[in-house]
A and B are shown apart, each in its own frame.
Chain A
Amino acid sequence: MKIQLQNCQFDFEQRFQLKDINWQIQAGQHWVITGANGSGKSALVATLAGFGDKIAGTVEGLVESVAIVSFEAQAALIERERKKDDADILDVIAVGTAVHEILAEGDVNASIVEDLVEKFALKYLLDRPFRALSTGETRKVLLIHALATEPKLLLLDEPFDGLDADTLIMLQRYLAELSHSVSIVMVLNRCDEIPQFITHLGYMRAATLAHSVARADESAYRELFQLLHLETSDLQIPPTADSSAKALLNPDQPLVVLNDIGVKYDQLKVLENFNWQIDSGQHWQLCGPNGSGKTAILSLITGDHPQCYSNDIFVFGFNRGNGESIWQIKQFIGYVSTALQWEYRVGTSLRNVIVSGFYDSIGLYSKATDKQRKIADQWLALLGMEQRADQSFNKLSFGDQRLLLIARAMVKHPPLLILDEPCLGLDDINRQLVLALIEKICAAGLCTVLYVNHHSEDTIAGIENYKNIEKNSTNID
């Protein structure tokens, strides 16, 4: 068996379309398809049973012997039963089809039915009308029926939903046994339910199969889970410690005013006559090619650029160069960049990395309070890393490090969050992870976000102001 979908587009009664689907299922593979609600998981799996109108692309190798258990199939059967009722013109109370009749429909193996009815402990309802069953019971009946048709390909959409613990274990065991002879594709929303026999994971995003990962590729497999967690969980940005720097700001003043800025090194002018004002609550995207001075602008704001003392800069109530310390400035800023990640080569724990955000330090040099540790743990839970709180930061994958540094930057709810090319150097999954987190942060409305990217098309929902700078470094004659 080898099923192949190439560049496919499917339409589902004009309500929904799948696009750019490329997918290959080889013999012996078992897939879980996951993704956020509405991303098209069920639709994708249904195409394997011939549902949906193919508008474009090629499909090869679909098997005849396929069974599907899904909410849609369940709903269709219930609808059929209801229609039977409506169609009945006799003035009697329609009882509808009994469960044992449903289970005998089509080409089914009666001994399998018998065996499974036993296993699911459903004997008591065999004679009841199908319509009278609870949702969970109809689901079990459908499962038994599908399995009894002895398909070569079994499609299960959320098969574990609503099952009690004992039944769940029984079903998982049964499927594991079955997986030796039958290819299984299932839709699952919960990562912790993925059975051992599953060999591949597919991730749906915006109506396309965005990622396909073999289970053997452990790091990619784990990242997909994290992405699922960030995109699907109802995440709350954790609170901050009692003393947020925000209270120190005059709400009527802009956060940042850069006035007629000039930066030059020896014979090279990097910036000239640059002006910018950032007001509180105004999310900005700063764009410009490499070498246009984006990083110089940011480091003038953060105080990391030595020429901030020879320019006219107002930040967070300070006219720079009047006796304020750099730590008085940094307390208002959360900052993430690739450069920070290179700097952050420390063997400290994930929890300490997040706590270090309270102190604006690279590494932790102060004793964390219980409250700070608790907040750090809430961030770790948000990132799906709570199990790894005591692991060493430098052992993390590059993408996980980036996520953690974003949490570090956000932990104190800074009035200004600067994200300097936060997706730089990340692969697609990790990019989406980072963007998902940033969107959550923007949506929470806790800080003003300054997002820097050299692609103006890489936008983040919620950012409406754009500052473009041209490559303007010139040699001084």
Chain B
Amino acid sequence: MSNNYFNTLALRDQLEQLGKCRFMHLNEFTEGVDALKGKKIVVIGCGAQGLNQGLNLRDSGLDVSYTLRQAAIDEKRQSWKNATENGFTVGTYQELIPTADVVLNLTPDKQHTAVVNEIMPLMKQDACLSYSHGFNVVEEGMQIRQDLTVIMVAPKCPGSEVRAEYVRGFGVPTLIAVHENNDPLGQGLALAKAYAVGTGGHKAGVLMSSFIAEVKSDLMGEQTILCGMLQTGSILCFDKMIEKGIDAGYASKLVQYGWEVVTEALKYGGVTNMLDRLSNPDKIKAFDLAEELKDIMRPLYNKHQDDIMDGTFSSGMMADWDNDDVKLLGWRAETAETAFEKTAAGDMDISEQEFFDHGILMVAMVKAGVELAFETMTAAGIIADSAYYESLHETPLIANTIARKKLYEMNATISDTAEYGCYLYNHACLPLLQDFMKKIDTDVIGKGTVNDDNGVDNARLIEVNAALRAHPVEHIGGILRGHMSDMKAII
């Protein structure tokens, strides 16, 4: 029986935990990987995160091996192949867990309860258990042996990026946390920092957070702007273009690659820069559309945040786990059948600027989604830094996955938890935007505006520019991107 840990806390403690988030300075990592040096690290699970984090840790001079279920080893499953082909020692829980000083649990959320219950009795006295997502602890209330140190190290990128950035000599932004109920020796922070150094995360920026802030912000971001909004937006934009007689190959390509192109501008210079890529009349149009979208979608964002906060979301999803994922699998199949998913991108050239000019609605959707998610999170007590990372910062990363293989790739890359939340959002958002979409024409999606003259009203342009720049997500984004670019001279 799960027992929501967050809900057991008093309001003041909830707020304190939600508000934990501090951008750490590079000079806080001068000890390097010392705290983990010579310790035996055993990774559970060898999927994308498990394998790539392990490769990085080993290349940082640490002792890494993998433990898999007996069946995965016997059947030489992909996880076994991943580990052995990369020259790692692989053994069963019984063989390796008792030798481990640090156990990295990098299995999917859904398996956490079973896995942790199985390994806990096998773990050494005073060992450390690490998560890369706090769902099990926060939403399921997993109780962990009191002698064990419990930490979280969560690279804010897909596993393949975690590896690729390390090999380049850099890293990906990483969130670390120590579970305050399980830090008996007071060494949690030192271990988490060493782990972040081992994966290269310290070079790209580390956020010191809490299990609770990570879970509540991560769930919100992934359900709404990151995956949900992009999925809903993809379907609506594509269907609208088809309805208006635009070539299906073109429509498919504009949407599939458009998110990546427009959010690249977001990555470099925030919402302001993304809109600055449009002509002045188009910018004003995108701004107005986004304002309208925000008004329509705000109750939905609030509902998602409320459901996440009070545990409604997680208990609903866990009910689906117990029901053999019927809902998740059904929604996944449904997504595969959408017209957008089934229409191949055409082989025409679309210039970088054309993605903006013909995708004004997409720009508006990204703006609305990012700002709403950020506003909702901060209103719920999540600190701006966290809210920024879980909204604006991650949007381009998810958009990249759509560019690779549409919604299929996105949903395959993200966790089952994110995927479940994404579908929930999509189902609520599609009908919500029905009336709005009726008025939409090809000037804002597919063909672009035909302005013979780029004239705009001065006062209105000043107003729009000021509003863009004054949004709090732009304020914190400016600071955090500043940190990032200090460390990473190039992006």
Contact = CB atoms under 8 A, between A and B. Distances in A.
A105 B230 CA distance: 87
Contacts of A304: 167
Given A265-B85, A346-B490, A309 B58 contact: yes
A363 B170 contact: yes
Contacts of B438: none
Given A323-B38, A360-B169, A363-B169, A307 B489 contact: no
Contacts of A266: 81, 85
A365 B85 contact: no
A157 B487 CA distance: 55
A347 B490 contact: yes
Contact of B87 (A309, A343, A348, A352): A309
A163 interface: no
A348 B169 contact: no
Nearest to A347: B490
B257 to A, nearest CB: 17
A341 B212 CA distance: 43
B469 interface: no
Interface string B43-69: 000000000000100111111000000
B244 interface: no
A328 B32 CA distance: 14
A310 interface: yes
Given A266-B85, A323-B38, A363 B61 contact: no
A265 B85 CA distance: 6
B179 to A, nearest CB: 28
A304 B167 CA distance: 8
Contacts of A343: 168
B37 interface: yes
Given A326-B59, A326-B60, A364 B489 contact: yes
Interface string A30-58: 00000000000000000000000000000
A404 to B, nearest CB: 15
A359 B169 contact: yes
Nearest to B56: A326
Nearest to B171: A365
Interface in A285-319: 303-304, 306-311
A325 B37 contact: no
A306 B87 contact: yes
A347 B114 CA distance: 46
Contacts of A311: 87
B55 A325 contact: no
Given A348-B490, A352-B489, A361-B169, A323 B37 contact: yes
A310 B490 contact: no
Contacts of B88: 309
> Chain B contact residues: over half helix, strand or loop, or mixed?
loop
Contacts of A310: 87
A324 interface: yes
A326 B57 CA distance: 10
A62 interface: no
A248 to B, nearest CB: 16
B454 interface: no
Given A348-B489, A364-B489, A307 B86 contact: yes
A36 to B, nearest CB: 38
B33 to A, nearest CB: 8
Q: Which range holds the interface residue count of chain B? A: 20 to 34
B203 interface: yes
A346 to B, nearest CB: 5
A331 to B, nearest CB: 12
B253 to A, nearest CB: 22
Interface string A256-277: 0000000001100000000000
B488 interface: yes
A323 B61 contact: yes
Contacts of A346: 490
Contact of B168 (A323, A326, A362): A362
Given A308-B87, A323-B38, A361 B170 contact: yes
A112 B88 CA distance: 86
B425 to A, nearest CB: 34
Interface string A166-181: 0000000000000000
A362 B62 CA distance: 23
Nearest to B487: A365
Nearest to B168: A362
Contact of A363 (B85, B87, B489): B489
Of the listed residues B37, B62, B63, B490, the one surrounded by the most CB atoms of chain A closer than 10 A to its CB is: B490
25 contacts: A266-B85, A303-B59, A306-B55, A306-B85, A307-B85, A308-B87, A310-B87, A311-B87, A323-B37, A323-B38, A323-B61, A323-B62, A325-B33, A325-B61, A326-B59, A326-B60, A328-B61, A348-B489, A362-B167, A363-B170, A363-B488, A363-B490, A364-B489, A365-B488, A367-B489
Given A323-B38, A323-B62, 15 more contacts: A303-B59, A306-B87, A309-B87, A309-B88, A323-B37, A326-B59, A328-B61, A356-B169, A363-B168, A363-B490, A365-B203, A365-B487, A365-B488, A365-B489, A367-B489
Interface of B: 33, 37-38, 55, 58-63, 81, 85-88, 167-170, 203, 487-490
